[in-house]
């Protein structure tokens, strides 16, 4: 769909997600602040819940992120998606990935956060790992086709230890030096800030690190008690500090919201080259908390300092939240799963607008959460119907590490959460049974047909067949 046609869909914000609490009338009627806030999203790759000192790491030293947390809002129940491409889909579209993709490639017809903010007059920039075009050049699916004015970075990940850069749609060199990426992306990001300090902007900085193959520059190599992985995180910490310093120096701190998070949990099978989920069970590509729950810190003059919250917030909420803050509009012609968290972030409310979350790995619904309860509905091999006799229920407030199945003690909760899962399957669907509000493009439909053929063993993390059972 041409971008001019897409603009027509940008009406006023909708409450597409039934999961979102109703916004109080007085708040809905409040006028938007005169000056539009800037947004900076720092999105690391495969960094776990336990990898920052402010989230409990004893071996990795992250003074700048710790300070950012003290001066801002630290979230301890923030959810992304369990693997790279789908996590970027969620962040950009405000939707559960299973609603819109089957392969790791986002249709041009989907409306991204960048497109929404661009429609409100924002300068938009993406620096780093894109991973929304199947890790290759695809006309119509590049960052500059999806709302970003400017792009520099790598289309895929660092698995091979070699990456090629693109600047907008042109090839822009390559490197085998994985330790150069964090500094280089940060330089590019700061250059963008200097150029656009006088207009509202979205700076999206999806780092390539600490996705294996990892590397650190000479300044950090061998310095951390956490080994090479620790060096990589400490380099990310230092460069995030450099970014915050630039924001302050340019006089942008009061009106810029900086968010730091990771795209998914740690890649545990990589051993010492992977991170830690801290007190959480599981890691990347699993439906345990360690796959989905990551550190999230928000900072800037609009975020009250010194807050820590265990409220349930998800990356799918950021698109509608930022749209509203910008006086812009999330799409109303389609279902969006995100909730407007503006009141919570501003400190006007202690409560999240969300109290449910769906855990899809790949295209399969594995678990659902409501409040303190999490129910696994289908932990085994892919099935399109949750197997009720395999239900496992965990109390995340009493048992964060998901060690004790309490399904037999709380049949009423199992029943309530099973109903939530059934509704998700009707609405979003899974596998080759898309729900009534799924919108899979031709590319995704082709993937479904391929899926119906006999399976080959997936390679590595499975760029074409993402996800696996916990």
Q: Which residues of the chain form contacts with Ca ion (CB under 5 A)? A: 45-46, 84, 263-264
The candidate with the shortest Cα–Cα distance to 113, out of 98, 124, 129, 99, is 124
Q: How far is the CB of 84 from Ca ion (least distance, A)?
A: 4
Q: How far is the CB of 211 from Ca ion (least distance, A)?
A: 6
Instruction: Render the burial of 38-68: b for 16+ CB within 10 Å, e for the rest.
Output: bbbbbbbbbbbbbbbbbbebeebbbebbbbb
Nearer of residues 46 and 51 to Ca ion, judged by Cβ: 46
Nearer of residues 131 and 317 to Ca ion, judged by Cβ: 131
Per 3-state DSSP, the chain is made up of helix, strand and coil in percentages (nearest 5) of: 30, 20, 50
- Rounded Cα distance, 426 and 410, in Å: 25
Nearer of residues 208 and 391 to Ca ion, judged by Cβ: 208
Q: How far is the CB of 89 from Ca ion (least distance, A)?
A: 12
The dihedral through the CA atoms of 329, 188, 33, 317 has a sign that is positive
Give residue number: closest CB to Ca ion: 84
What is the separation, in whole angstroms, between the first and last Cα of the chain? 37
- Rounded Cα distance, 296 and 312, in Å: 12
Q: How far is the CB of 47 from Ca ion (least distance, A)?
A: 9
- Rounded Cα distance, 71 and 315, in Å: 21
Q: How far is the CB of 262 from Ca ion (least distance, A)?
A: 8
Nearer of residues 47 and 391 to Ca ion, judged by Cβ: 47
Nearer of residues 263 and 430 to Ca ion, judged by Cβ: 263
The candidate with the shortest Cα–Cα distance to 95, out of 108, 78, 112, is 112
Q: How far is the CB of 206 from Ca ion (least distance, A)?
A: 9
Q: Residue 341 half-sphere exposure, CB side, CA atoms within 13 Å?
A: 25
Q: How far is the CB of 45 from Ca ion (least distance, A)?
A: 4
Q: How far is the CB of 172 from Ca ion (least distance, A)?
A: 23
Give φ, ψ of 397 to 5 degrees: -75, -40
Nearer of residues 48 and 108 to Ca ion, judged by Cβ: 48
Compute the C-alpha angle 131/186/237, nearest 5°: 95
The candidate with the shortest Cα–Cα distance to 300, out of 341, 340, 347, 351, is 347
**Residue-level length of the chain:** 470
Q: Which residues contact 138 (CB under 8 A, 6 or more apart)?
A: 105
């Amino acid at each position: 769909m041409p971008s001019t046609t897409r603009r027509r869909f940008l009406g006023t914000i909708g409450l597409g997600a039934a999961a979102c609490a109703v916004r109080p009338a007085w708040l809905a009627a409040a006028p938007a602040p005169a000056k539009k806030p800037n947004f900076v999203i720092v999105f690391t790759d495969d960094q776990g819940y336990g990898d920052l000192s402010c989230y409990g790491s004893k071996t990795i030293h992250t003074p700048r992120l710790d300070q950012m947390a003290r001066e801002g809002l630290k979230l301890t129940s923030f959810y992304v998606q369990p693997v790279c491409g789908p996590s970027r889909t969620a962040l950009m579209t405000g939707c559960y990935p299973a609603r819109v993709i089957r392969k790791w490639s986002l249709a041009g017809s989907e409306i991204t956060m960048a497109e929404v903010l661009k429609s409100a007059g924002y300068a938009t920039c993406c620096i780093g790992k894109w991973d929304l075009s199947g890790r290759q050049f695809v006309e119509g699916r590049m960052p500059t086709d999806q709302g970003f004015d400017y792009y520099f970075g790598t289309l895929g990940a660092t698995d091979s230890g070699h990456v090629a850069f693109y600047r907008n749609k042109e090839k822009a060199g390559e490197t085998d030096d994985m330790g150069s990426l964090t500094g280089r992306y940060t330089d590019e990001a700061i250059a963008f800030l200097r150029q656009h300090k006088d207009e509202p902007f979205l700076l999206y900085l999806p780092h390539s690190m600490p996705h294996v193959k990892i590397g650190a520059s000479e300044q950090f190599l061998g310095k951390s008690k956490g080994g090479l992985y620790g060096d990589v995180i400490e380099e990310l910490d230092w460069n995030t500090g450099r970014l915050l310093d630039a924001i302050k120096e340019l006089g942008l701190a009061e009106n810029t919201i900086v968010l730091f998070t990771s795209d998914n949990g740690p890649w545990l099978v990589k051993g010492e080259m992977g991170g830690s989920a801290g007190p959480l069970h599981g890691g990347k590509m699993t439906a345990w908390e360690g796959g989905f729950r990551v550190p999230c810190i928000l900072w800037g003059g609009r975020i009250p300092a010194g807050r820590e919250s265990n409220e349930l917030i998800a990356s799918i909420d950021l698109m509608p939240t930022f749209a509203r803050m910008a006086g812009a509009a999330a799409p109303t012609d389609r279902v969006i799963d995100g909730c407007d968290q503006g009141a919570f972030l501003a400190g006007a409310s202690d409560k999240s607008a969300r109290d449910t979350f769906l855990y899809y790995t790949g295209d399969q619904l594995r678990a659902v959460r409501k409040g303190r309860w999490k129910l696994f509905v289908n932990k085994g091999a892919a099935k399109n119907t949750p197997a009720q006799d395999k239900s496992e229920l965990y109390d995340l407030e009493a048992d964060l590490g998901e060690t004790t199945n309490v399904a037999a003690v709380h049949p009423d909760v199992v029943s309530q959460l099973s109903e939530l899962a059934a509704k998700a399957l009707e609405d979003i669907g899974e596998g080759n049974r898309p729900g009534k509000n799924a919108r899979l493009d031709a590319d995704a439909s082709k993937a479904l047909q391929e899926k119906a053929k006999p399976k080959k063993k997936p390679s590595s993390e499975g760029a074409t067949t993402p996800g696996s059972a916990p």
